[in-house]
């Protein structure tokens, strides 16, 4: 089975711009979660989508949004970028039916200048 695929791998943007990141989950997985990793904060939960609906949400401002398509692929959007948004954004998928482990992609490294 192919793993979780995230594109692009690297991204450089300037303050005020917006960005869209993409995630393709493992085939058959219906849950996609997004995490932000920064050096001092570790991994922080952004949101989870299951069957095209946001099922859980972390404590991030409304500038961070996402969506999930009928094929379970997910996109995450950040608007009005700030310097502090520079981070590794990780996507994880799981079947979504219970207490199963998450499978992570390699992430998108976003740099905001």
Phi-psi region of 9 (alpha: psi -120 to 50; beta: other; left: phi over 0): alpha
Q: Is 23:45 a contact under the CB 8 Å cutoff? A: no
Using the contact rule CB under 8 A, the part of the chain among 13-21, 43-51, 69-77, 78-86 near other proteins is: 43-51
State which residue, 33 or 72, has the beta carbon closest to other proteins: 33
Among 11, 13, 22, 44, binds other proteins (CB under 8 A): 44
Q: Residues near 10 by Cβ (< 8 Å), separated by ≥ 6? A: 108, 109, 111
Which is nearest to 20 in space by CA: 63, 60, 56?
Answer: 63
DSSP reduced 3-state for 39:
coil
Residues near other proteins (CB under 8 A), total: 28
Using the contact rule CB under 8 A, the part of the chain among 12-20, 28-36, 61-69, 72-80 near other proteins is: 28-36
Phi-psi region of 52 (alpha: psi -120 to 50; beta: other; left: phi over 0): left
Q: CB of residue 1 vs other proteins: minimum separation in angstroms?
A: 15
Site string for other proteins, 54-73 (x = CB under 8 A): -xx-x---------------
- Interface with other proteins (CB under 8 A): 4, 31, 33, 35, 40-45, 48, 55-56, 58, 90, 92, 94, 96, 98-107
């Amino acid at each position: 089975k192919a793993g979780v695929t995230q594109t692009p791998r690297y991204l450089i943007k300037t303050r005020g711009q917006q960005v869209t990141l993409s995630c393709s989950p493992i085939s058959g997985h219906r849950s996609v979660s997004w995490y932000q990793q920064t050096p001092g904060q570790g991994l922080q939960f952004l949101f989870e989508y299951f069957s095209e609906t946001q099922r859980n949400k972390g404590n991030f401002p409304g500038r961070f949004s996402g969506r999930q398509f009928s094929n379970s692929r997910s996109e995450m959007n950040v608007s009005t970028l700030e310097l502090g948004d520079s981070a590794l954004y990780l996507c994880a998928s799981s079947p979504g039916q219970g207490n199963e482990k998450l499978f992570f992609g390699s992430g998108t490294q976003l740099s905001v200048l």
